[in-house]
Structure formats: structure tokens, C-alpha cells
Chains A and B, each alone.
Chain A
Amino acid sequence: EDQVTQSPEALRLQEGESSSLNCSYTVSGLRGLFWYRQDPGKGPEFLFTLYSAGEEKEKERLKATLTKKESFLHITAPKPEDSATYLCAVQASDYKLSFGAGTTVTVRA
């Protein structure tokens, strides 16, 4: 069974304090790894898709990287508006998308 584990569960950062979120996965035939952002009471919002080990993608203060067993979401110099739950998901060979439990990031001004 496909498994996605995210750590830490929660992360409290000071504004400007860079950090990384981890997503480790076990999947039969990875077709893609996805990062989403979810604000309280809202639906997840797409951030990145990574398809192969070594791939990196950036968007503003966020950078996602992928290895054969895990992905990292790096937040550089975060701002309070980066506070959200970040979800990792993997798409397996059967095209099903499985989500991790998420990392809730709180950035204090």
C-alpha cells in the first residue's frame, strides 16, 4: 500500500527563519509527487509537481526537491502569509493520488 509520511506535524517559525518540511513516501511506481497548500476551512491549492529524482521547482519563497524516497519543501525567509498546512501527495502507477497528513506551518511576525 502506498504510504506518505510528512514531518514535522507542526512547525513554528519566526519571520525570516528558513526551514524545511519533509515528505517521505513508499509507492509502487511513482508517477508524480505533488505539493499543495491548504488554508483553514479552504480546499488545497496546488503548488508544485515533481516527476523524477533530482528535480527541483521554485515559487517565490518555496522550493521543492525530490529524491527517490523523499521530497523536501524549503521555505526561505518566510512571512506570516506563508502560514498554512502544506500537503504532500504521491501519484502511483494506478494513478491514485495519496496524501500525507500535512505539516502545519505558523510564521510569527
Chain B
Amino acid sequence: DSGVTQTPKHLITATGQRVTLRCSPRSGDLSVYWYQQSLDQGLQFLIQYYNGEERAKGNILERFSAQQFPDLHSELNLSSLELGDSALYFCASSVGTGTLSGANVLTFGAGSRLTVL
């Protein structure tokens, strides 16, 4: 157990629907990252939050949004789902924003597997 908790583990839904993935970071970590991993692509960075504020944005689609709440848990919202959105979605957390040695190390959760039919 890495200390990063993601729910749900598996999710099957239909095209056009909306889902929410939830992540609780490791105790003491202030940064949360979201990554997408599909078979034909590696881990793709989506977005990072630090202590409730958005810090960095990657290749996140406009149909996707995220936020980090005061208790530091984060949610990734995926809407108007398409077949191509089927993937593993990973949440990771770290102590800081990456500016300090050691604060760069990301701890990953077990992932949420999304299947869009």
C-alpha cells in the first residue's frame, strides 16, 4: 500500500457520460498529480495541484477538469466520454511542488481503470 488511495478501482460507462475519479494523497503530501496511461501511450501528465491551487497543466482535454479540496483530496472529472478515453488514470502525490530535492518523488496510487463502451 503506497498510501495514495484511488477510487473507484474499476469503472465501466458509456460514451457521452460523465465520471468522477477520486484521490486521497499520502499523509503529509501537499501536491497531487493526475496521469493517464493507455496501451498505445505511456504515462501522460494531465494536471498538478499544490495545496489547493493548480500548479501545472499537461495535455488535459477541455472535457476533463480537476480540483483539490481543502482536505487535500482531489477529484478528476471526465465528461462527454469517448471510446478513446478508456485508460488507467493514476493519481500521485508528493511532499512539495518539486522545487526541493526529495520533494520531487511521486508516490502513485493503484489507479482507476476506466472503460468506455
Choose among B2, B4, B42, B101 the residue that contacts A87 (Cβ–Cβ < 8 A). B42
Q: How many A-B residue pairs have CB under 8 A?
A: 64
Given contacts A95-B56, A96-B45, A102-B42, contact A43 B98 (CB under 8 A): no
The answer to whether B45 touches A97, judged by C-beta atoms less than 8 angstroms apart, is yes
The answer to whether B58 touches A96, judged by C-beta atoms less than 8 angstroms apart, is yes
Given contacts A42-B110, A43-B2, A95-B97, contact A87 B43 (CB under 8 A): yes
| Nearest CB in chain B: distance from A29 CB, A | 13
Q: Judge if A99 is at the interface, Cβ distance under 8 Å.
A: yes
Per-residue contact bits, chain A 66-109, to B (CB 8 Å; 1 contact, 0 not)? 00000000000000000000010101001111111110000000
The answer to whether B108 touches A43, judged by C-beta atoms less than 8 angstroms apart, is yes
Q: Judge if B117 is at the interface, Cβ distance under 8 Å.
A: no
The answer to whether A43 touches B105, judged by C-beta atoms less than 8 angstroms apart, is no
Q: Judge if A31 is at the interface, Cβ distance under 8 Å.
A: yes
In Å, the complex CA distance between A95 and B90 comes to 18
Per-residue contact bits, chain B 36-51, to A (CB 8 Å; 1 contact, 0 not)? 0000011111001000
Q: Judge if A44 is at the interface, Cβ distance under 8 Å.
A: yes
Sort chain B's interface into a size bin.
20 to 34
Q: Which residue of A lies closest to B35 (CB)?
A: A99
Q: Judge if B107 is at the interface, Cβ distance under 8 Å.
A: yes
In Å, the complex CA distance between A87 and B48 comes to 20
In Å, the complex CA distance between A77 and B55 comes to 42
The answer to whether B56 touches A46, judged by C-beta atoms less than 8 angstroms apart, is no
Within 8 A of A (CB), among B37-85: 41-45, 48, 55-56, 58
Choose among A32, A36, A41, A98 the residue that contacts B45 (Cβ–Cβ < 8 A). A98
In Å, the complex CA distance between A97 and B35 comes to 10
In Å, the complex CA distance between A76 and B37 comes to 29
Q: Given A34-B104, A45-B108, A99-B42, 12 other A-B contacts at CB below 8 A?
A: A32-B101, A43-B4, A43-B111, A44-B43, A49-B105, A91-B98, A95-B56, A95-B97, A97-B33, A97-B98, A97-B106, A100-B42
Q: List 9 A-B contacts (CB under 8 A).
A: A32-B101, A34-B104, A43-B4, A43-B92, A43-B109, A95-B56, A95-B97, A95-B104, A96-B48
